[in-house]
Every structure is written in structure tokens, then in C-alpha cells.
Structure 1
Amino acid sequence: MNTLPDIPLTRLIEYVEEDCPFGDITSEVVIDPQICSAVISARESLVLAGLTEVIRLSEWYGLAASSACSDGLYRQAGDVIVTLTGQAHTILLLERTLLNILGRMSGIATRARKMQDLVSAINPGCRIAATRKTAPGLRLMDKKAAMIGGADPHRFSLSDAVLIKDNHRVLTVVDEAVRRAKAFSAYHRVEAEADTIDEALRIAQAGADIILLDNMTPEQVSQVISLLSENGLREKVLIEVSGGITEDTLASYAALNIDRISLGMLTHTVINADFSLDIMKES
């Protein structure tokens, strides 16, 4: 999938309903019905993501939402992201959900942009990739945010592509598994994980489209690439590396002749970006 996924409106509504199963009792008790406006602003420098979802959700609940921004842009602390106008009860009802969406998605997008920029400066042909290490129910949101930040989404689900990993290899021989997967369909990419240098060669010889080098050191990855080149196979496969790669070690992998670096940290350890919502009473 190359286009940004559309998060179903029903899913966004579920987020609101989770936060107010029986209404917002505070606002209903202490605030009279009235029209007001509110602004959502950035509190730090960030790559904006989630604005599309915030506007859709606000408008569904009857608010007018306007913005001069768009997802993927850098924003600075103090920048107004979106202005909302409508019933005060509705703005207060949605406040935390809107901020949570913007915060999580922008946090992921900001980190992805930082990691991709670091990699691109060293190896323009290499991209970072998100993984399926997401909280249940948040995968579309997290993958979309990573894509906004410039990351490859990798697989959205187990149905997207064949990826033969360590637990598959316990139950079958990896090169035979690759051949069976290739025979199954010409319309799904086949990727297989290699634990050793020789295993990587066998996977390539079996016709895999992508070789996943998991938990290998940069030196071991370099040896795999040399072996594939010697056998005329390097240009026939994509090389992906993964496994505990951090911001500190990213450059040492990016310097190699590889195609993808998958980073679980993009979605399994999310640091939310900071936003605020401030209501302005109508005169």
C-alpha cells in the first residue's frame, strides 16, 4: 500500500465513546449550552500527523473545523493547528480524544522523519520501515503516522505478504518454504528471515524477494552482502535488517548496501507530541 490508509470513521467514533460511555457528566452539570470556539496548538516542534482524523471527527459531531495546516508539515511550538467552533459541550466532549490522536500520530511521524532523514543522509536508497508491533486497535493509525513521517509501512497484516520467520523455520526448511510460497502466488512478495550467512544465501537461491537479516551485526550483514554479490544474487533481492536497532546504531547499518531497516521502536515505544486545546468564550 503506497497511499495513506483511511482510518474508518466508526473507529474514530469508538475512541470518543470509550472516553464517555455515559456522557461527559462534568460539562453537562456545570456548563450551560452555548457556542464557543477553541484552538488546538502545538507545544513543541513536530511533524504534524492526525489532522485529517481530527477534522473528520470534529465535523461528524457537528463542529466547524478550519486549519491552514496539513499532515506532514513541520510545526513549531505555539503554532495553531486547527480552530473549532460549535457547542461548548461538544468541544469538551472531544477534547482529550482529539489531543490523543494528534499527540500519538505526530509523535510517531516526528520520530519516523528524524530516523529517515538520518538514514537518507548516509544511504539515499535505504528506507526505514514500521512493523506490526502496535497496540491492538491502533495499527492503522500508527502505520499511517509512520508513513506521514516518511517510513515504509511494511506489512499491515499477516494477509499482505509472506514472511517466513524463526518459528516457521522450526517447522519447515526455510529454502523449501520459500519455494512453496513462490509457487503459491505470483502476486505476493516472499520474504524470509536468515539467522546465518549461509542461510541467507540459500534463501536467495530459492528465489525470495526479500531477505530479513535479524539481529545480525553490521559486520555480519556486510558478509552476507559480499556472499550474495559473489554469487550474482545481490541485485535480485532486497535486504532488510532488523532487531534491536536504535538511534545510536542506526548509522552503522545505514552505511551498508541495504534497502530497508525495520524499527519496532517507531510504534511500540511511542512518545506523544504535545498539544493543547484552549477554549475562547464568545462575546
Structure 2
Amino acid sequence: RDLEKAAVVHGGGRPHRRDLADGLLIKTTHTAFVPVATAVARARRVARPGESVEVEVGSVADALAAARAGADALLIDNASPAAARAIVRTLEAAGLRRGRWIELSGGIVPETVARYRRVGADAVSLGALTHSARALPFHLVIEPVRLRPPAR
């Protein structure tokens, strides 16, 4: 993972977390069983000082619920540029956007990232940069070397 992140940096990217252990991320699989407000409250109780609570959202309703529950950040997942922009605009209109980190993720690849630039998010995550990178073809040839005994 460290090599993957280093490659992103060398390519001009800016990783904002190493992995899921760098913060608390409440996924939609969690909120399918526990209301967002409950999940955020529980996350706050176990968060380290200064640790952010991020909630994955997929709709305007999810985003409003997470923001109202006090999430520091929202991860808008698998949304089209238009749907993501609608979420951001709704948060702005409700006074819930300022000071809240918004990240876009899910199905965004280098070829489509430009479509998301006017959404109003703070970051776009491209998993394809690390999990779909092509391997560099290389090989190593090892040739035997004759060693001479040390001179006396």
C-alpha cells in the first residue's frame, strides 16, 4: 500500500488517507442496520481526539441526515455528476455545506474524472489509481560470477 500511495504522489495526486484506519468511515452497509444519527453518535464516542467521522451517502436524503447528525465529512458514492451536484447544492441551501469535507468516489476513473470537477466537492477518490494500475513488465537476469580466492 505504501508503494501505491507513493506512486500516486509521484504522479501528482494527493492521498488524504492511507487506509480506512486513518479515520472513522460509516458505510451504507452500517446505516442499513443503524440510523445515521445513531451511527455518528457511536462513532463520536470512540473517536480519538481530532479524528473525523465520515459518512458514505448515496442520495440527498442520506446526505442531509448525515450532515444533520454532525458528520465531519461526506463520501458521495456511486453518484453521477448531476446527482452529486444536487447533493452539494442541497447541503448549501440547507446551510450544511460550510466546513464539511465532501469526497466523491465510486466508479470514477481517470477518463471520467473531469466530468466531476464542477460538482463542488473537496476531493475525488479514484480507486482505479491503485487497484487497477497495470503492472510494469520487467525481468531480472542473474548470471553466475566466478569468485577468486582472496590474495594472501
- Structure with larger Rg: 1
Query: How is 1:115-264 mapped onto 2 (pairs within 5 angstroms)?
Result: 139-185=1-47, 186-264=49-127
Q: Kindly indicate whether the alpha-carbon contact (under 8 Å) linking 1:146 and 1:266 is maintained by their aligned counterparts in 2.
A: yes
Corresponding residue of 1:59 = none
- Pick the structure with more helix per residue: 1
Which structure 1 residue ranges, 4+ long, deviate > 6 Å from structure 2? 274-278
Q: Kindly indicate whether the alpha-carbon contact (under 8 Å) linking 1:239 and 1:258 is maintained by their aligned counterparts in 2.
A: yes
Distance 1:158 1:252 in 2: 26
Distance 1:220 1:141 in 2: 34
Distance 1:157 1:277 in 2: 32
TM-score (normalizing by structure 1): 0.46
Corresponding residue of 2:148 = none
Q: Kindly indicate whether the alpha-carbon contact (under 8 Å) linking 1:193 and 1:214 is maintained by their aligned counterparts in 2.
A: yes
Distance 1:254 1:274 in 2: 33
| 3-state SS, counterpart of residue 82 of structure 2 | helix
TM-aligned CA deviation for residue 171 of structure 1: 2.7
TM-aligned CA deviation for residue 231 of structure 1: 1.3
Distance 2:39 2:81 in 1: 27
Q: Kindly indicate whether the alpha-carbon contact (under 8 Å) linking 1:182 and 1:207 is maintained by their aligned counterparts in 2.
A: no
1:102-155 alpha-carbon deviations (Å, 9 max, x no partner): xxxxxxxxxxxxxxxxxxxxxxxxxxxxxxxxxxxxx11111221222323243
| 3-state SS, counterpart of residue 191 of structure 1 | strand
- Pick the structure with more strand per residue: 1
